[in-house]
Amino acid sequence: MTIFNPNTLVEITQQFGTPAWVYDAATIRQQIKQLRDFDVIRFAQKACSNTHILRLMREEGVMVDAVSAGEIERSLVAGYSNSDNPESIVFTADLIDRETIELVIQHDIPVNIGSMDMLHRIAEVAPHHSVWIRVNPGFGHGHSEKTNTGGPNSKHGISLEDLPQTVALIQQYGLDLIGIHMHIGSGSDLEHLSQACQAMVGIVKLANVDIRAISTGGGLPIPYSSHEDKLDTMTFFRLWNDARKEIESHLGHSVKLEVEPGRYLVGNAGALLAEVHCLKSTAEHNFVLIDAGFNDLLRPSMYGSYHKIEAVHQYSNQQGLESISNALEYAVAGPLCESGDVFTQDASGVICHQILDNPKVGDLLVFNDAGAYGASMSSNYNSRPLAPEILIDDGQCRLIRKRQSINDLVALEMV
């Protein structure tokens, strides 16, 4: 069942149209609360980078991770400032371009380095800059192979073989090493995340250098279906805290423990809303065609991800609207001129079905648990404008991003 009140969703679409994204602030705050034992919660904003969501995070004392110059600018707009708190923003990447080097220097933003080339470039212009080392522990795990960020097939991080040389370079350049970071993948599970914390102890010993902090990275899973459990955050913290204590006794002083979730903070807090425009049956499928496509929500087409879909009968009192009688299971697809524009598909692209309650043309479909990697992965494919975003906080619905217009799109081409 959706976390949102269906009447509120209908009101939102009447005011802002469809497709539209909606977020629940209370759910985000609740998720943050589950991780309060960590010294620093750092939001991986790539999951949902709207500046109003970032502001909410900042007000809750959550720090932020940025992976591009654009994400740094968003953090600044949201009021994060490393001169107020040097831990506010960290920049994580495997390469750094000239524009971003200028930004991190100007705003004193530590760089979480994923390659030795980054070190050379930073040291050239800012020899005492603060850095983290992002280590690839030699294994990884995500909800899809595409979100596995460790092991020999991953482009991310410093390999264990390169770690001693990386540390030597940092010392030689006189860079300020804050800590060691590890992110094994997005949407992982407790089993693999606990392997990561065991690996961290060995990596700190292998690095053989003093550090002030360690970061678990992100990857904390959320339930997308009723068969999936919520993450046991107490166990997750205990495992990492044990690793931290071992590192502290090795180094002989206290060490800060950071966690860097994206999906966990916002995934269950958001939904995509779309209107049914067409019902169409083939020999194999009852298709429900809606006004959102993979340009809006990419995860099903990209990874075969499951989002629980529900119908809200916003016009159910109206007569004469189409429905497919006797159907129970439906394939849900978008408006794009692309056969892969189907929200109910598995990772190999085979079309699947979901049970929907008699959807009719004009009804609203709610895609649940779409708060992470939803709006932030949207595109303008087929020249479709970005959908608006609405935040529900304390009973109030607030527009936090306007709908893009076609004029906005073509304006860039007026050259």
The SS3 call for residue 414 is: coil
> Counting contacts by CB under 6 A, is residue 214 touching ligand PLP?
no
Closest C-alpha to 193, from 229, 142, 153: 142
Smaller CB separation from ligand PLP, 90 or 247: 90
Q: Of the listed pieces 41-49, 195-203, 353-361, 403-411, which binds ligand PLP according to CB under 6 A?
A: 41-49
> Counting contacts by CB under 6 A, is residue 263 touching ligand PLP?
yes
HSE on the CB side for 367, CA within 13 Å?
Answer: 35
> Counting contacts by CB under 6 A, is residue 53 touching ligand PLP?
no
Smaller CB separation from ligand PLP, 186 or 233: 186
Letters for 126-165 (x = contact with ligand PLP by CB under 6 A, - = none) are -----------------------x----------------
What part of residues 76-95 is at the interface with ligand PLP (CB under 6 A)? 92
Give me the catalytic one of 48, 197, 278, 337.
337
Closest C-alpha to 185, from 229, 131, 223, 140: 140
Beta strands in 29-88 (DSSP E): 40-44, 63-66
What part of residues 358-397 is at the interface with ligand PLP (CB under 6 A)? 372
For ligand PLP, the binding residue among 261, 270, 359, 388 (CB under 6 A) is 261
Smaller CB separation from ligand PLP, 22 or 220: 220
Closest C-alpha to 297, from 379, 405, 353: 379
> Counting contacts by CB under 6 A, is residue 306 touching ligand PLP?
no
> Counting contacts by CB under 6 A, is residue 183 touching ligand PLP?
yes
Compute the distance between CA of residue 390 and CA of residue 21 in angstroms, rounded to an integer.
Answer: 6
Q: How far is the CB of 260 from ligand PLP (least distance, A)?
A: 4
- Residue 27's φ and ψ, nearest 5 degrees, are -65, -40
> Counting contacts by CB under 6 A, is residue 186 touching ligand PLP?
yes
H/E segment holding residue 178: strand 176-181
| 48 catalytic residue (yes or no) | no
> Counting contacts by CB under 6 A, is residue 187 touching ligand PLP?
yes
For ligand PLP, the binding residue among 137, 150, 179, 217 (CB under 6 A) is 217
Distance of CA 270 to the CA centre of its chain: 12
Q: How far is the CB of 79 from ligand PLP (least distance, A)?
A: 21
> Counting contacts by CB under 6 A, is residue 244 touching ligand PLP?
no
Q: How far is CA 331 from CA 1, 148, 240, 296, 327, in A?
A: 19, 28, 42, 17, 11
DSSP 412: T
Bridge-based pairing state of the strands 354-355 and 329-333: antiparallel
> Counting contacts by CB under 6 A, is residue 298 touching ligand PLP?
no
Beta strands in 238-284 (DSSP E): 256-259, 270-281
Q: Of the listed pieces 28-36, 95-103, 215-223, 238-246, which binds ligand PLP according to CB under 6 A?
A: 215-223
> Counting contacts by CB under 6 A, is residue 47 touching ligand PLP?
yes
The SS3 call for residue 311 is: strand
**Beta-ladder partners of 364:** 275, 312
Q: Which residues bind ligand PLP (CB under 6 A)?
A: 44, 46-47, 65, 92, 149, 183, 186-187, 217-220, 260-264, 372
Catalytic residue ranges? 337
